[in-house]
A and B are shown apart, each in its own frame.
Chain A
Amino acid sequence: MNLPALALLLGAASAAEPQLDLHLWGALGTLPASDGDGAGLGGSVAWPLHPRLHLGVQLEGGLSTTAEPWLAGRPELRLYLVERGPSGGALSATLGGGARFHGALQPDLALGSALDLPGSGRILPRVQARYLVDLGGDRHALIAGVGLAWPRPRPEMPAEAPIDEPPSDGPPGSATTEPTAPTDRERWLWIPHPLRQCMIEGQVRAASEGGLQGSAIPAGLDLEALLRPTQGSLVVAARPGDRIRVGGAELPSRADGSVVSSVAAGPVDIEVVGAGRQRRFETAVAAGHALWVRGDSDDRPHHLSFDLGSAALGPAQRQALATLAANAGSWSFQLRGLYSPEGTPEANRALARARAEAVRAELLRLGLSEARLILLPPPEQADPSASPEAQRACEILPLPPGGSR
């Protein structure tokens, strides 16, 4: 590559902040083999048409395998298939068409790809390959290059104003004005209720320390807590009688069954027990935010099955009742024995009462008070629409404190 061309590239780059590339290249293969491309230097400069699409000019030169110099130049489109991530890596494809001078001027076409390797700062290693075709003849070449790329800089982070920096614009007391366009040295903050506006950090700090007379910002404002909250809030809406544990600790409920609590930001495990069932919510609370969770207990009836003609509790029934008692919360339960149609009505109703009594006795043994266990009379007859097996049971209906179903 000649020096004027290189100077042109560098000059253009400095004028418009383009992307720049310089590389060494070598031919991997050429057809016909008698006229190999050899090796040389190349470079390109490109400007973005779109964040992913850049238009530029590429210049390359070198010596062929027969030690003859050649020079090529071509406009080139570069499409970023994978854009630069935070570390700078990117993958792009290129399409160029121009001319190559090698004894005579010959139009050519170039298809290529480039991989920008992650790096630090604004200079990234670039590995690239291109397939070249002379349009006027049947010459083909595959070349590879290694070099450096200077991609267009990403938007910079704003320079933060020092904490003790005085207000950078406006007279004291102007902190309540509408926001002005920020400059590089101003850091703007969102000041929530009651101000609800963007303000310059320096002004906010001065006002909160009592340094801005007439400011709407209250003196003594805990700015750090405002800007970097560590707590969030949790509202669990449950039903009266439910018990709510947050992070394993039971929290006192309000009369409506809800819990409102401040919690540290982060994952939170919520457990709601009531009506004989348990609900768990694995969620998270964000700093400075409130999270409402619908934690109502499931108050559908429980159904405890028995064997034909039996009111005896087996291990499975006892385990089910133990789970119900452990998750009772402050709920009460109505107990209604059921029966299948086999047998006489009198015997069946007696069996149903015995089933309900057995359940009541077991729940009393498990710690529930008598006042919370209400025996209901058995139905006058078996339900013809239900299966016999489903009716050999005791129905347990959860009842919230002081309420009815």
Chain B
Amino acid sequence: MSALVRALLGLPLLGLSLQSHPARAQAPAEQPDAAMLIGLSGPAFVSLSGASPVQVDRCTGLPLGATVCTGPDSFATVRLDPSPTSSGAHDVVLMPGTCLDIEQATADRTQLRVERGSITVATPRPRGGSSTARTLAIRTRDGLAEGKDGGFRVAIEERATRTEAVTGGIRLSGDGGSLELAAGKGSRVSQGEAPTAPVDLLLSQALLSPEAGTALIRPDFHWQEVPHGTGYRIELSADATFTDIVEAMDVAEPRWLPDFLFAPQAIEGLWWRVAPYDRLGFLGIPSEARPLLLPPGVRG
């Protein structure tokens, strides 16, 4: 509900330094944008080096050096290298309370730094007939995660960085060493240490209701319990690839019955999926995404 109220009122979330109106982060004329904000739910803010953050809207170009931050209830998606000639652009989803720096971009490598919060790197979608993806490196206070295939998550925790290779393998490095993290594995890395031994991520069980393809009238979500699961994250997105997330919630039981739900109406539908947490706090492999229709009369 707080996300709804903030979205309605456009309240500044980061203090006195914000403008409350959308703006485009402008780079010097000779510097092409390295990324673009293509997904947004709730307020997000962009600052260039030395400037105060400004609240931005979708389709804001992001030059090198830009820092993107989501509000405490916001989701944003940054598409790296949005130029039409690029191939296999990565989409990076910022969860609430996340700050991401666009540090470097060369012909074959992009480096981001996650200052706080958590991100999900979606699997790159080939464009222009080519599927050669660039290496995406995610740097944090604790280490570095590098991969070409996307499909991984990076979350900053109090004393470590948690990394989950969901569908794509990555190389994970810390000051004390590095390892190859295969898809389906998770690991943590702390400052000055090597990554922990990989653990198997939990698999999701079947989604129960609502059924696929039905109109969403009553927001009651049920799924099968996952053995050894300690909790679940349910995500709702306006697209099947979950790069336009409108809500994500951590719950203890295999159901979610929100009193309020908020989503754009100019969308094809909503997709939902669930991933389990294990006893170590790793978020597992999400379920298949299940599509839902907007009720007749809702679509704008």
Contacts and interface: CB of A to CB of B under 8 A. Distances in A.
B51 A189 contact: no
B15 interface: yes
Given A235-B298, A260-B297, A178 B84 contact: yes
A293 B263 CA distance: 12
B216 interface: yes
B262 A289 contact: yes
B5 A284 contact: yes
Given A182-B24, A231-B300, A260-B295, A290 B262 contact: yes
Contacts of A233: 265, 297-298, 300
B32 interface: yes
- Looking at chain B's contact residues, is the secondary structure mostly helix, strand, loop, or mixed? loop
B129 interface: no
Contacts of A226: 266
For the side of the interface on A, what is the size category?
Answer: 35 or more
A341 B51 CA distance: 78
B23 A155 contact: yes
B202 interface: no
A196 interface: yes
A84 to B, nearest CB: 6
A283 B49 contact: no
A11 interface: no
A180 B82 contact: yes
A177 B58 CA distance: 17
A232 B265 contact: yes
B296 A283 contact: no
Interface stretch (B137-145, B187-195, B253-261): B253-261
B266 A288 contact: yes
A225 B298 CA distance: 15
Contacts, number: 176
B262 A198 contact: no
A192 B52 contact: no
Interface string B261-293: 111111110000000000000000000000000
Given A180-B84, A182-B61, A157 B23 contact: yes
B54 interface: yes
Nearest to B37: A198
B176 to A, nearest CB: 29
B43 to A, nearest CB: 12
A188 interface: yes
B30 to A, nearest CB: 11
Contacts of B47: 51, 155
A190 B59 contact: yes
Contacts of B217: 235, 237, 254, 256, 258, 260
A158 B52 CA distance: 16
A181 B218 contact: no
B51 A291 contact: no
A391 B26 CA distance: 73
A260 B267 contact: no
A258 B298 CA distance: 13
A292 B50 contact: no
B38 A198 contact: yes
Contacts of B21: 157
A301 B47 CA distance: 57
A48 interface: yes
**Cβ-closest 7 pairs across A and B:** A48-B50, A83-B17, A198-B59, A188-B59, A192-B266, A190-B58, A292-B261
Given A198-B58, A288-B265, 5 more contacts: A158-B24, A225-B300, A288-B300, A291-B261, A294-B260
